[in-house]
Chains A and B, each alone.
Chain A
C-alpha cells in the first residue's frame, strides 16, 4: 500500500519534470520559429512574393499512384489536371511560407519542427506518467485537461505535417498557444495527482473527454486558420486595391492565400463537427447514467450546446451565399470562443455538476 503510493508519487514527480522539460523545448521551438520568420522577412523571395504576382505556370500535375504506373508501353504523358478557383474568388497564390525562400530561415524552420517533435515526445511522456500515477485517464481536473489538450493540439499539427499539408506556418502560433496553455496549467491550475470522485468513474470518461479534447485541439487549428484568413484577406484586398502596404504585409504575404486558409479552416471545422456532436451525445449518455437525466441545462451542457449551435451556424453560413468569407470566419472565431469559454469560463466562473476536484 505505502509502496504503491510511493511509486505513484514518484511517477507524478516524473510527470511534472517531463512537462517542464517539454515546456523548455517548446520555448526553444518558439524561438527557432521566430528566427524562421525574421530571416524570411529579409529574403529576396519574401519581398517579391509580397508583390502578389500570379504564378507563371497555371497547370499542376496531380500524380496518382495509378497514373505513375499506367501502361508498360512507352508512357507518353500523364494526365494533367488543371484546377481553377471557384468563380468570384481572388486569384492569389499561396505565400512562400514563413522562411520566405531564405535558406537560413528554412533551416530554422526545420529545427523548430524537430524541436516540436522532441517536445511532443516529452509531453506525451509527461501525460502518460501522470496517467500511470493516478491509474486512470489523466483528465480528472483542469491541470490534466490542459496538458492533454496542448498535447492533442501539437499532435494534430504534427499529424497534418506528416500528411504533407501546408501547415508549417502554424508553427509559431501553435508554440505560442502551447506555452500559454502549459504555463497556465503548471502555475494556476496545478493540482496534485489524485483519484476521482465516484461520479467520474466510468468508461464514458475515456470516450467523452478524449473526444472533447481532440475536438478542441482540431478546432483550435481551424480557428487559428480563420483568424489568419481574416488578416491575409484584408492584406490581399489592400494589395488588389493598390492601397499602401500595412506594417505586417511582409509577414502576411508569406502566409498561404486567403482562399487556401478559408478552405482549410472549413475542412477542419466540418470534419470536427461530427466529432463534437458525438462528444455531446456521449456526455448525455454519461449524464443519464450518473445523474439520471441526459440533459439538465447544467452550465457545461449549456455551453457545449451553444458551441455546437455556433458551429452549425458557421456551417450554414458557408452554405448560404452572401455569408461566405469574412462573415463566416467571424462566426467560426465566435464559435471557438464559445468552446474556450466552456472550458475556462464555465470551470472557473460558473459552478455546476461539472466542477470537481478543486478546479
Chain B
C-alpha cells in the first residue's frame, strides 16, 4: 500500500517525545503502515530436504502470523465495518423472504429475468447469505483477535506506573509554569497530595511527580467490544432455538400450546417440540375501537383481547388483557395480538329439521373496514328424504352495511349494522378426496347452486336473528349472532435477556469509552538559577480534549497556595527558559530536543 497521505508520513520529530510520554495510554494496536508484501519470512534456506522443510515451516508460520496481524489491525477492522454497512444495504431494497414472504414472492413474479440471478446471489435472504455471514464472521474474528491482546495489555497497564516526566514539559499539549519561593520538595509533596486527592495514580521521581487518570476509558472500550460479541451470540442463539406460531381463536374458544393446535408454525433449526411452554388460554372477549370522524375515519385506535390463562394444566387460572403493544407473558413464551375479525354464528338444520351444524363461520377480512368472505361447509347433512349429502354456503359478512347503496363493502369496521349475505350449494364438497382444502374456499365444481322459483340464484341478506330457508325444504340456516375472533402469535425466543444485558453493557462501555478521558499530568519543581523554584505543570490526553487545559488550570490554581507565585516582574518566557536551563542536566533518558515549533492558541477555541 503506497502511502500518499500526509498525516501518515514519518512522524514529526516532536511526536517521538510525545510518543514516549504518551506510550501505553491506550491498548489500540500499533498501526502497521508497512508493506503489503512482507517478502520472505523463512530467512536463509539450508541445502537439502530438511533445510527446505525448516524453511517452509518458518515461511508458513510467518504468513499465518502476518495474516492474523492484518486481520486484527485497526485498518482491517475499519474496512470490515465499512463492508458490513455496505452489505446491509441490499436487504433493505430487495424484499426479503425472511421479512415478508408474500412480498418477496410477488417481486420474484414481477421480475422474472432478474429473480434467478438474485436468488443465486442470495439477495432474497441477505442476512443469512454466505457473503454477508463471511463479513460479520471475519469482523468478529478480528474483534476477538483484537480484544484478547488488548485485555492483556490493559491488565499490564493497570499494574504499571505513570511514566517519568518528559524532558520538555512545555511541548506537551497543555502547559503552565510559574516561580515560587517554596522549596521544590515542598511543592512536589503538595503536588503529589493534590494529584492523589483527585484520584490520579501518581509516581514520584527525582524533581517531578507524574499522575495518570481515566483508566476506565479503556475498560469501557473493552467492555463495549466484548458486549458486541455477547450480543451476536444472543442473537444467533435466538435464531437457532426460536419458535413462532400463529393461531386464530374465536371468542369463547381456547388454545393450548402444543404443535397440533397451531394454524402455522415455524422454528429455528435447533428447536425441539418438547421445549414448548405448556400454557393454555381462553379468549373471553375481544374489543376494538375505531376513529369515528375525520379523514382517518375507521382507523383502529385500540384493540384488546381479554383472556383467562394458566401457565400449565392444573395451575391456577388468571385473567389478562392482550393489546398490540402488550403481549401476554407466560413463563417462557409471549403471546402477541396480531389481527382480528368477525365470525357469524349460525345453526344449520337439515331436511329433517335436525341440527347439522352449529358454530362460527370462518370468515376472512378483505379490507380495513372488515368486509369478510365467509364460507361454510356442512358435511353432516341429510336431505328431506334422509339421503346423506353435502351443503356449502358462500358469501360475505359486513359489520356495517351502507344502507343507501347496499354495496357489500363494509363502511366501517365496528358492528354498526351487520349483515350476512349467503348463497347455498348442494353436492359433493370433495372433502373426502384426500386433497387438503382451505376452510376459506369452497370448491363448487361438483356442487349445484340452489335456485329460486324464478330460476335465479338463491341468496339472502340476513340480520342477526334472521333465518334463511333453503328452497324445496332442503333445510335452513339461522343467523344466531356474531362473535369476534383474534389471531395470536406465540413466540418463544431464548436469548432475549442475554441480548438486553449485552446491549446495556455495550451502552455503559461506550459511555465510558467516549466520555472518560485518559490523561497524564506532570509537575516538575526545580531550583532556578536565581534561587526561586520553577514550577512546571503539563498535561497530555489520549484524545484531544478541551477539558485538559481546564483541568490543568484547575490543578495549577489548587497548587498555588502551596507554591505561591513570586511577584510578576520578569516575564513568563524567562521563567520557562530558566527552568529549562536548570533542569536539563537533572533529567535523563529523554529523546533529543528538536527545535520548538511555533505555538498556537487553542484553549480559546471550541
Please name the residue on chain A nearest to B598 by beta carbon: A91
Spot the interface stretch: A23-31, A67-75, A179-187: A67-75
Chain A residues with Cβ below 8 Å from B577 are none
Say whether A292 contacts B8, CB under 8 Å: no
Quote the shortest CB–CB distance from B555 to chain A (angstroms).
8
Complex Cα–Cα for A53 and B276 (A):
75
Say whether A91 contacts B600, CB under 8 Å: yes
Complex Cα–Cα for A305 and B560 (A):
51
Please name the residue on chain A nearest to B128 by beta carbon: A297
- The 8 Å CB contact of B553, one of A58, A79, A299, A338, is A79
Say whether B601 contacts A316, CB under 8 Å: no
Say whether B173 contacts A86, CB under 8 Å: yes
Say whether B572 contacts A313, CB under 8 Å: no
In the complex, A346 has a CB within 8 A of chain B: yes
Chain A residues with Cβ below 8 Å from B81 are 309, 312-313, 316
Quote the shortest CB–CB distance from B281 to chain A (angstroms).
16
In the complex, B77 has a CB within 8 A of chain A: yes
Please name the residue on chain B nearest to A257 by beta carbon: B605
Quote the shortest CB–CB distance from A271 to chain B (angstroms).
7
In the complex, B215 has a CB within 8 A of chain A: no
Chain B residues with Cβ below 8 Å from A238 are none
Complex Cα–Cα for A323 and B75 (A):
9
Please name the residue on chain B nearest to A325 by beta carbon: B7
Say whether B93 contacts A350, CB under 8 Å: yes
Say whether A309 contacts B557, CB under 8 Å: no
Complex Cα–Cα for A80 and B560 (A):
12
- Against A, the Cβ 8 Å flags (1 = close, 0 = not) of B63-105 are 0000000000011011001101100110111001011000000
Complex Cα–Cα for A285 and B98 (A):
20
With A274-B510, A292-B334: A93-B600 Cβ-Cβ less than 8 Å: yes
Say whether B33 contacts A271, CB under 8 Å: no
With A58-B600, A281-B503: A83-B174 Cβ-Cβ less than 8 Å: yes
Say whether B325 contacts A290, CB under 8 Å: yes
Say whether A57 contacts B31, CB under 8 Å: no
Say whether A76 contacts B606, CB under 8 Å: no
B402-444 interface (Cβ within 8 A of A): none
Say whether B572 contacts A59, CB under 8 Å: yes
Chain A residues with Cβ below 8 Å from B598 are 54, 58, 91
Say whether B75 contacts A165, CB under 8 Å: no
Complex Cα–Cα for A331 and B552 (A):
33
Say whether B558 contacts A321, CB under 8 Å: no
Chain A residues with Cβ below 8 Å from B301 are 195-196, 198
Spot the interface stretch: A40-48, A96-104, A118-126, A259-267: A259-267
Chain A residues with Cβ below 8 Å from B88 are 302, 305-306, 309
Chain B residues with Cβ below 8 Å from A357 are 296
In the complex, B253 has a CB within 8 A of chain A: no
Say whether A86 contacts B544, CB under 8 Å: yes
Complex Cα–Cα for A359 and B311 (A):
41
Say whether B84 contacts A93, CB under 8 Å: no
Chain A residues with Cβ below 8 Å from B566 are 76
Please name the residue on chain B nearest to A78 by beta carbon: B557
- The 8 Å CB contact of A70, one of B91, B506, B561, is B561
Please name the residue on chain A nearest to B82 by beta carbon: A313
Most buried by B among A81, A257, A263, A350: A81
Quote the shortest CB–CB distance from A89 to chain B (angstroms).
8
Complex Cα–Cα for A346 and B552 (A):
48
Complex Cα–Cα for A172 and B335 (A):
52
With A263-B544, A289-B327, A292-B334: A270-B604 Cβ-Cβ less than 8 Å: no
Quote the shortest CB–CB distance from B286 to chain A (angstroms).
13
Chain A residues with Cβ below 8 Å from B489 are 292
Chain A residues with Cβ below 8 Å from B18 are 87
Chain B residues with Cβ below 8 Å from A302 are 88-89, 91-92
Say whether B496 contacts A288, CB under 8 Å: yes
Say whether B493 contacts A293, CB under 8 Å: yes
Quote the shortest CB–CB distance from A334 to chain B (angstroms).
9
Say whether B496 contacts A81, CB under 8 Å: no
Say whether A77 contacts B7, CB under 8 Å: no
Say whether A84 contacts B171, CB under 8 Å: yes
In the complex, A5 has a CB within 8 A of chain B: yes
Chain A residues with Cβ below 8 Å from B3 are 322
Complex Cα–Cα for A138 and B33 (A):
51
- The 8 Å CB contact of B28, one of A195, A309, A319, is A319
Quote the shortest CB–CB distance from A299 to chain B (angstroms).
4
B542-575 interface (Cβ within 8 A of A): 544, 546, 549-550, 552-554, 556-558, 560-561, 564-568, 572
Say whether B572 contacts A73, CB under 8 Å: no
A295-329 interface (Cβ within 8 A of B): 295-299, 302-303, 305-306, 309-310, 312-313, 315-317, 319-325, 327
Quote the shortest CB–CB distance from B290 to chain A (angstroms).
10
Say whether B514 contacts A82, CB under 8 Å: no
Complex Cα–Cα for A199 and B303 (A):
10
In the complex, A38 has a CB within 8 A of chain B: no
- The 8 Å CB contact of B14, one of A81, A87, A323, is A87
Q: List 9 A-B contacts (CB under 8 A).
A: A79-B560, A85-B173, A87-B18, A194-B291, A198-B301, A198-B325, A274-B511, A289-B327, A320-B74
Interface of A with B (CB < 8 Å)?
5, 54-55, 57-60, 62-64, 66-67, 70-71, 73, 76-88, 91-94, 165-166, 192, 194-199, 201-202, 204, 256-257, 259-260, 263-264, 267, 270-271, 273-274, 277-278, 281, 284-286, 288-299, 302-303, 305-306, 309-310, 312-313, 315-317, 319-325, 327, 338, 346, 350, 352, 357
The 4 closest A-B pairs by CB, nearest first: A79-B556, A67-B557, A322-B8, A309-B85
Instruction: Identify 11 new A-B residue pairs, CB closer than 8 A, beyond the known A59-B599, A79-B557, A259-B602.
Output: A79-B553, A81-B553, A82-B174, A83-B600, A86-B544, A195-B299, A198-B302, A271-B514, A281-B507, A320-B74, A346-B92
Interface of B with A (CB < 8 Å)?
3, 5, 7-8, 11-12, 14-15, 18, 28, 31, 33, 74-75, 77-78, 81-82, 84-85, 88-89, 91-93, 96, 98-99, 127, 170-171, 173-176, 178, 235, 244, 291, 293-296, 299-303, 323-327, 334, 336, 489, 491, 493, 496, 499-500, 503-504, 506-507, 510-511, 514-515, 537, 544, 546, 549-550, 552-554, 556-558, 560-561, 564-568, 572, 597-606
